[in-house]
Each structure stands twice: as structure tokens, then as C-alpha cells.
Amino acid sequence: MDMLAAMETFTAVVDSGSFSAAARRLGVGQPAVSKTIAQLEEKLAVHLLIRSTRGLTPTEAGLAFYEGARRTLSEANEAQVLARGSGSGLTGRLRICAAVTFASLHLVPRLGPFMAAHPDLQIEVVLDDRAIDLVEEGIDVALRMGNLADSSLVARKITSGKRMVVATPAYIANHGRPQSPAELASHQAVIYSQRDAVDVWRFNKDGNEQQVKVQGQLKVSAAQGQRAAVLAGLGLTLASQWMFPEELASGAVEVLLPDWQLPPVDLWAVFPAGRNSTTKARLFVEFVQGLFEPPFAPPVTAPIT
């Protein structure tokens, strides 16, 4: 049997907790995963997994084999890259996860150079505003914004961006321009419900801190809806500098209370817990890091509808 392939299958099973999840991650059928594990246990003459109604749990021997397999696979990947040389492209599959609007505006339109450098690499971009289970979904690296609630995650900070309150000129003409954070309480706020304390906005100006509880008739669970609502003049919103790049440049969206600062938003590269980051994932993160080095100029893209 192909021991490296068997190791990859076994680590996928342990990481995901089931044969079916491992099969989805590897892009094969579940029977193939079950057969590989059975053959591996027969070859090693030990039980690697305990099967129960609660799922799969590695035995003591399984845990030892898992740790060794992870190291072997990581070293094998590194050896392939070194053998090909730094000028050669990556191969295999790279599965990325990112928020829908952020990826549509700032990631997908800029993938060209990375794809050209690695023509044999298959890239899958999973678009989801939620913090999905990276192991369950077979994600190599995720791009996430804000605070990372799970302290077990392996993360690397890419950059920080400004937060701002924005609205269209039409909304401002109809409802007035707020002159202080306190006045926001009387405005219609489009609230992004994926964040904690979504209706409490905190401002600072020359050491003067103000906290405002906003209200709004409309809450949305995805930034794409947040964008659409603001551009339709349905309210003002709290957004990162990355959400309305073209509209801010053209004046289609204006920054309100520009003299007040809001807490910045961090952009993170997040790797699955308990797994070593792959060479492919690390090189991709380095590529993304380069996209956000100053001067940052967002690509020209069509509005999301």
C-alpha cells in the first residue's frame, strides 16, 4: 500500500472525526477511506481507532501514529518543494475560506499572479461569512477579520484596517449628517449581526471616549447584504475600510464623523487547530500579505448585487 497516502487518509480521519468528513476533505468516497484505514490497521497489526456512537477516537497507538504521520507528511511536502526549487510551482489542492464580500472585492480579483506562478495548483475558495470548522471542511487556511474567539486556533496577523461609519449622500440628505457619536442613536443603522455587541459602537477623540447604542430596523447576517442596504440608502453602518473601496473613492459613500476613531479591525490568516500549516498555505499567506502592504490600492471590480 502507499504509506504516504494512507497516512494522509488517517490524519484526515483523526482531524475531522469521521470517515465521511475525511472523504469530503480528500475528495474520495467514504468506502475508500474505510478500506484504507482497515488495510493500515492490518499492516501495522494494531487498532488505530475506537469506533463508537459518538464518533471515532484514536487509540494510544493511533495517537502515536498520528503524530508521526503528521511530521512525515509535513517533511514530505517540504522535500517536494525543495526538490522542485523555489522557482517551481506548487501542486495539489489549496482550500481557502474567506468572507464573501471581502474575498469578492479584494482576494479573488487579485489571484492571477499567484495562479500564474503555480499553474498546477488547484485552488478552492470557500466563501462564507461564518467562522466555519476548518478541520471539518478541510480548509488549509482561512482569512478572518476581527477578534478570534477560539484561543486554540493557530493564527498569523496580516494587517489592520480602519473602521468607519458610512452612508450615501442620499441618506445624509434625507436624514441629516450626525455631528457627534451621540446623534447616531437617532439614525437608522444597518446592523451586521455576525459580530458581538453589534449595536454598541465605541468612539475615541483626543482621549474622549464615547459609547453609543445604535438602533436599526434592518439586521443582516452577511456583509454583502450590509453593502446592499447602505448603497440603497436604507441606513448608515459601521464598516471596515475594505467594504466600500470604490464608493469611498468616488463619493458614492461618505465617511461620517471623520474626526472620531473607532477600534481597528485585524485581518488574520487562520490555520486548522492541531495541524501544521502546509507549504502551500504558508506561501499563499505570504502572497496575501504582499497584497496589503502599503500603498494599498483596491482592484476595480463591479458592484456586488
Question: Does residue 235 sit in the same domain as residue 285?
Answer: no
Q: Is residue 302 part of a domain?
A: no
Mean pLDDT of the chain: 86
Strands, E assignment, 81-235 = 92-98, 121-127, 141-145, 154-161, 163-167, 188-192, 200-205, 208-213, 215-220
- Which CATH number characterizes residue 179's domain? 3.40.190.10
The residue ranking higher by pLDDT, 79 or 67, is 67
Question: Does residue 97 sit in the same domain as residue 243?
Answer: no
Question: Does residue 174 sit in the same domain as residue 248?
Answer: yes
Per the structure, the complete domain to which residue 123 belongs is given by: 92-159+266-291
- Which CATH number characterizes residue 39's domain? 1.10.10.10
* Residue pair 100/223 in contact by the 8 Å Cβ criterion: yes
Confidence check: pLDDT of 288 > 90: yes
Question: Does residue 234 sit in the same domain as residue 114?
Answer: no
Confidence check: pLDDT of 302 > 50: no
Give the burial class of 93: count Cβ atoms within 10 A of its Cβ; 0-12 exposed, 13-18 middle, 19 or more buried: middle
pLDDT at site 55: 75
Question: Does residue 175 sit in the same domain as residue 253?
Answer: yes
Of 16-30, 39-53, 271-285, give the lowest mean pLDDT range.
Answer: 271-285
Q: Can you tell me the distance from the alpha carbon of 267 to that of 208, in angstroms, rounded to the nearest whole number?
A: 27
Question: Does residue 189 sit in the same domain as residue 174?
Answer: yes
Question: Does residue 252 sit in the same domain as residue 279?
Answer: no
Question: Does residue 42 sit in the same domain as residue 67?
Answer: yes
Question: Does residue 229 sit in the same domain as residue 280?
Answer: no
Q: Domain tally for the chain? A: 3
Could you report the per-residue pLDDT of 115-155, keeping only the tens digit for each? 999 998 889 999 998 888 887 788 889 999 887 766 567 88
> Rounded mean pLDDT of 36-48?
92
Q: Is residue 297 part of a domain?
A: no
Could you report the per-residue pLDDT of 82-96, keeping only the tens digit for each? 566 555 567 888 999
Q: How many residues make up the chain in this entry?
A: 305
Last residue of a domain, one of 84, 117, 141: 84
